[in-house]
Structure 1
């Protein structure tokens, strides 16, 4: 018996420019494994839980160590512990992964590392991933798109202030469909999730659009009775 090891992995999503297709797309950073198993393959950032750490602390620590990212929005997603998680034999203890997901604002994403071993990839078309990380990414995408339909989670991709066009772009990129601007405006303004700041976005050639902000009472994470850390 090799025992059981608890690890944390995190799926990070951000809206990124896709120069290949001249558009904005949903991206995620991946790290290249530098040892066996799956040496040279791309994987989700993460690592083992230390004896003196809470799970969320492990998620935050490993993100900083591997990507230099410190997301504002970080939420536990799911636990993956199937006996045959790896597609090839892996020596050592059985690993149970507690998976988090993070949604990153543009200014947060810019502070991350990008080099030969850390790179952003299209979330919907990632390279071949180590272990069962492709299944984890698929689940995270499904969860994100489902939650977009009933919550205010889209706001986690934006800065402190934003236009309704910028908010609509988040929905269109994530849901992969075009939304009617007038209908979207009516739905957002009636939802109570955002409020106008009284200011306008300047610098464009057209009439400056209104800037909005999240209402202070908006809590994006589904932690139930648990305190958000």
Structure 2
């Protein structure tokens, strides 16, 4: 009797990686110059293990048995950087499964995007040799990242920039209370453009549920600016576009 042979197949493993964006003063990297300027930054670690030992990478790691992708992402974030991500609004960017993307074998990764203000300083732990808030422009300018993480960062940045056009996600970069100027600076920082102040003010103030006046003013030596909080709306009434008049 001839027994049919079972077809051979690959057993894929699964990891979760995180793209965390915030606007802050970046950490001082080797060979860099001190700066106090706030800019769009991403959380990166340097790998302490092979492969790519010593290379910059996104925080992340293998999904454990009985663990969801989201739970694995939150656990790895805390283990590798000391940042607790349970309250972060994680959004899936894409699953990456190109053969050969990981030299250890067939390993797919699910990338998550999170945006938040005033995130804590990073402290390396477990298999990360170091952790830092790195300017996104450094990655776009060719900073070497492990695996296909540079592609993941570009995809996540494109998603974040697109969401600024049609959703109220820009308030995620702000604190509980903010001025319209501070909100405009979020768009300018993430998009890398300058927006017309009066037109932007009129657009966001007229958009239903985008921002809500708190009735308070910012304490400043100059002309006081009104403070706002995020409204309940998720989508904008009209898109905000970086390259056309508002």
Does 2:122 correspond to 1:112?
A: yes
Q: Does 1:124 align with 2:137?
A: yes
Aligned residue number for residue 226 of structure 1? none
Please, which of 93, 98, 101 is the counterpart of residue 77 of structure 1?
A: 93
Query: Structure 1 residues 114, 167: closer, same or farther in 2, change over 3 A?
Result: farther
CA shift for structure 1 position 82: 0.8
Question: Which residue in the other structure is 2:61 paired with?
Answer: 47
Structure showing greater Rg: 2
Offset of residue 177 of structure 1: 0.4
Q: State how far apart, in whole Å, the 2-side matches of 1:66 and 1:114 are.
A: 5
- Name which of 97, 107, 110 aligns with 1:95: 107
Q: Is the 8 A contact 2:123 2:130 kept in 1?
A: no
Aligned-pair distance for 1:16? 1.5
Q: How does 1:167-178 map to 2 (within 5 A)?
A: 167-178=183-194
| Alignment match of 1:29 (pick from 40, 43, 47) | 43
Pick one of 3, 28, 37 that aligns with 2:11.
Answer: 3
1:114 shift after superposition? 6.5
- Closer, same or farther: CA 114–15 of 1 in aligned 2, 3 Å: farther
CA–CA distance in structure 2, aligned partners of residues 177 and 43 of structure 1: 27
How far apart, in 1, do the equivalents of 2:217 and 2:121 lie?
27
Deviation string for 1:141-192 (max 9, x for gaps)?
Answer: 1111111111111111111111101101100000100111100001101112
Structure 1: distance between partners of 2:199 and 2:82: 39
The count of residues paired between Structure 1 and Structure 2 equals 212
User: Please, what is the CA RMSD of the aligned residues?
Assistant: 1.9
71-80 or 56-65, which deviates more: 71-80
Instruction: Give the TM-score normalised by the residue count of structure 1.
Output: 0.86
What does residue 204 of structure 2 align with? Answer: 188
Deviation of the 1:123 alpha carbon: 1.1
Tell me which of the two structures has the higher relative contact order, counting C-alpha pairs closer than 8 angstroms and 6 or more residues apart. Answer: 1
| Stretch of structure 1 that moved more, 19-28 or 191-200 | 19-28
Give unmatched runs, 5+ long, in structure 2.
1-8, 27-32, 236-246
Q: TM-score, normalised by structure 2?
A: 0.80
1:153 — aligned with what?
169
For structure 1, list consecutive stretches of 5 or more residues without a partner in the other structure.
221-229
